[in-house]
């Protein structure tokens, strides 16, 4: 690995050549996961009894996915590291897409990938229904809003835009979430239906491996243990070494640079994030955070009205003078977060503690 001095942009030798071997990409996945060579060997050993793949990419991908399912694998939204996929026989859309793609490539069938930002699927329809119910006062009174005390036991929704990697095989989407036969999967498991989303981009092995590093950054930030900022910054840089156009890694680097007071790094991250851009609520809300330009906030909510953090910014923070309305709206947002499988109610209260004290008279700690 080579580093260009004085710049966070890193490059890995050979990145310009798309025809790398499966072994090369397995090694990238291993390194990004913090795994060891035995984990790679264990992963390969799992597929010793996999029948010869069909030459058709979509059918080949289904064969690998179904083989995983037959061997006890299931979908789990939080399992993204190679070693954990092997140990627990679980994986999320990122790790399963990588595993299936690597096995296909190793057996001579070339996979392709896409990353969907905020799939418009069954989950989206359900969360919009709950959001409308909350806003209309069906769950608590406008003049007496109630805040949730804890995260839902089994949260089903998002209320935040997520990046969702999928395999693109023969111009069809192979949905890895269907390994669990979840009724809220984005598409029928074998239909090949192209999943709708706010935005869709073609992706590569490098980008998905960069997303593994990004997931580790999120874990570091969420756990916030001693020294996490420097570790998280280093992981962001490693993510960008693999894939320099990793938009959300630049966005996280901006936030971390702000926390440690590194103005040079912060400005560079902002510039790179803005140059990459995107027409989706995740991008627009990040740009709002960087610029405070209300046009970006409005665009985020146009794309995703139930985006809890964006809703809080516009309908609570920007209207604190209208106390009753702001109190009600904050309760709406809090209940959305409590029912989110990707947001954390404790952290939501922590970063909005000033609002809670102002609107409700005392702190709230779930």
* DSSP assignment letter at 366: -
* DSSP assignment letter at 104: H
Predicted confidence at residue 45, as pLDDT, reads: 95
Predicted confidence at residue 208, as pLDDT, reads: 98
| Residues 221-253 as b or e (16 or more Cβ within 10 Å = b) | beeeeeebbebbbebbbbbbbbbbebbbbbbbb
* Closest listed residue to residue 213, CA positions, set 98, 294, 303, 111: 98
φ/ψ of 306, rounded to 5, equals -95, 15
Residues 140, 142, 143: CA angle, nearest 5 degrees = 110
Q: Where are the domains of the chain?
A: 2-120+164-247, 122-157+280-360
> Could you tell me if 306 and 321 are in contact, meaning their C-beta atoms sit under 8 angstroms apart?
no
Query: Block means of pLDDT (10 residues each) for the chain, length 366 residues?
Result: 37 46 95 96 95 96 96 94 96 97 96 97 94 96 94 94 96 86 50 89 97 96 87 96 97 96 97 98 98 98 98 96 96 98 94 94 76
As given in the structure block, the two tokens for residue 40 are: 């790679």
> Could you tell me if 333 and 308 are in contact, meaning their C-beta atoms sit under 8 angstroms apart?
yes
- Give the Å distances, CA to CA, from 222 to 133, 217, 347: 30, 9, 8
Residue 72 CB-density burial (10 A; 0-12 exposed, 13-18 middle, 19+ buried):
exposed
Predicted confidence at residue 108, as pLDDT, reads: 95
Residues 118, 65, 191: CA angle, nearest 5 degrees = 60
Predicted confidence at residue 21, as pLDDT, reads: 92
């Amino acid at each position: 690995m080579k580093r260009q001095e004085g710049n966070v942009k890193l490059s890995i030798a050979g990145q310009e050549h798309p025809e790398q071997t499966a072994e090369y990409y397995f090694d990238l996945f291993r390194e990004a996961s913090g795994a060891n060579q035995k984990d790679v060997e264990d992963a390969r050993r799992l597929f010793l009894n996999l029948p010869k793949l069909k030459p058709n990419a979509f059918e080949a991908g289904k064969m690998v996915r179904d083989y995983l399912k037959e061997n006890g694998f299931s979908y789990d939204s939080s399992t993204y590291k190679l070693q954990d996929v092997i140990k627990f026989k679980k994986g999320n859309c990122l790790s399963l897409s990588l595993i299936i793609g690597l096995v296909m490539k190793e057996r001579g069938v070339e996979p392709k990938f896409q990353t969907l930002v905020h799939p418009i699927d069954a989950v989206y329809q359900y969360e919009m229904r709950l959001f409308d119910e909350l806003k209309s006062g069906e769950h608590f009174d406008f003049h007496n809003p109630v805040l949730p005390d804890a995260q839902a036991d089994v949260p089903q929704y998002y209320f935040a835009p997520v990046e969702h990697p999928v395999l693109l095989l023969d111009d069809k989407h192979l949905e890895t979430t269907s390994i669990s036969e979840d009724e809220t999967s984005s598409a029928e498991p074998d239909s090949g239906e192209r999943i709708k989303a706010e935005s869709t981009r073609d992706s590569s092995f490098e980008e998905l491996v960069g997303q593994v590093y990004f997931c580790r950054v999120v874990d570091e930030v969420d756990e916030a243990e001693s020294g996490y900022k420097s570790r998280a910054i280093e992981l962001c840089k490693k993510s960008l070494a693999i894939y320099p156009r990793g938009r959300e890694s630049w966005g996280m680097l901006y936030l971390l640079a702000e926390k440690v007071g590194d103005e040079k790094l912060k400005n560079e991250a902002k510039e790179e994030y803005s140059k990459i851009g995107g027409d989706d609520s995740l991008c627009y809300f990040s740009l709002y955070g960087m610029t405070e330009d209300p046009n970006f906030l409005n665009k985020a909510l146009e794309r995703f009205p139930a985006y809890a953090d964006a809703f809080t910014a516009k309908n609570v923070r920007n209207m604190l003078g209208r106390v009753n309305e702001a109190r009600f709206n904050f309760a709406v947002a809090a209940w959305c977060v409590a029912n989110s499988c990707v947001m954390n109610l404790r952290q939501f209260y922590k970063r909005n503690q000033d609002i809670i004290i102002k609107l409700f008279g005392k702190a709230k700690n779930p």
